[in-house]
Amino acid sequence: MIKDKSKDLIKELFALAEIGINGSNPWDIRVHDERFYRRILAEHSLGLGESYMDGWWDCDRLDEFFFRFLRSALENKVKPWKLIFEVIRSKIFNLQSKSRAFHVAEKHYNLGNDLYRAMLDKRMNYSCGYWKEAKNLDEAQEAKLDLICKKLDLRPGKRVLDIGCGWGGFARYAAERYGVNVVGITVSEEQAALGMELCKGLPVEIRLQDYRDVSEKFDRIVSIGMFEHVGYKNYRTYMRLVDRCLKDEGIAFIHTIGRNEAITENDPWLDKYIFPNGMLPSVSQIGKAMEGLFVMEDWHSFGPDYDKTLMAWNQNFDNNWDKIKSNYDERFYRMWKYYLLMCAGAFRSRRQQLWQIVMTKPGTKQPNCRIS
């Protein structure tokens, strides 16, 4: 009989990241099912996440586990054949085409407004806060919104397009504090319905619409946490849309998660359970997409702030779980915790970044946007 060496191999791999099996550190994992080891070797990221959801292993500090795991790039030590298919699939197909644009809403953003109310700040911002002087999540999100408004040089009466507006957090803040008119677009019915309710009485219109269908002119165009859904085959299409819809003296703005290297496929577990067809851009991919269309006026990086934001969301989710758990189940709870804490570890390890980018059309006056 051939001895199964999968357990020894996983132990050796995890040891490279100073992660123990059934050890005493809070980032060590406790294995409850011996099938775990072979599953990780066979299915990599997908197997790691699904086995956690299935209760095959636990960890007191998933965020610290992933910080060490990703900092050591353990995922590059084993390359299962299934990942090759994902790369080929992303090369052949446009996974973020218009016909697929609403998939992420069905899978993620329409999960239930009760979940997001329980997890997010009072303005329901589902993107990184700005913690430079903030003491809590509400302050960090308001600081982020105000920072964006100032970078956009918003003034009363300006018309703003918010691509991927979520529940209207930015639209409401900009209309209330800066007196602008906002058109927000989202692919989520749940977001659109609640967003219109929250923005009632303000010069805000929220539409259920794909960004490629917008054809009007605006003084300012902003996207906050939406560029992650555009996909590398559509980055140039996105920039051309912004160029077409932005007035000549206008300002465009992108707030996005980014990666240190260019990729053409999503993480298999995140793609299946959290963000179908999602993709994080690199500096080179964004630069190539905007070349010849825009002047890059300001590029602000503050990825560590997303670590703090995700940990705050996780705390809120835990604190309010009893209020919402009747609408979900224990497997969802484990899945959601895994998602939030894995992402926190990714930012802590510096494998993922958070960028704010300000752009103008060539030949226009430089705006006052370097205020970070």
Report the catalytic residues: 343
Phi, psi angle pair for 301, to nearest 5°: -115, 125
User: What is the amino acid identity at position 225?
Assistant: G
Q: What are the distances in angstroms from CA 238 to CA 4, 207, 232, 293? A: 49, 18, 10, 11
Q: What are the distances in angstroms from CA 350 to CA 60, 71, 74, 133, 266? A: 22, 8, 15, 21, 18
Rounded to an integer, what distance in angstroms lies between the CA atom of residue 94 and that of residue 367?
Answer: 35
CA proximity to 119, closest of 165, 167, 162: 167
**Ramachandran bin of 179, using left for φ above 0, alpha for ψ from -120 to 50, beta for the remaining angles:** left
Burial 189-226, CB ≥16 within 10 A → b, else e: ebbbebbbebbeebbbbbeebbbeebeeebbbbbbbbb
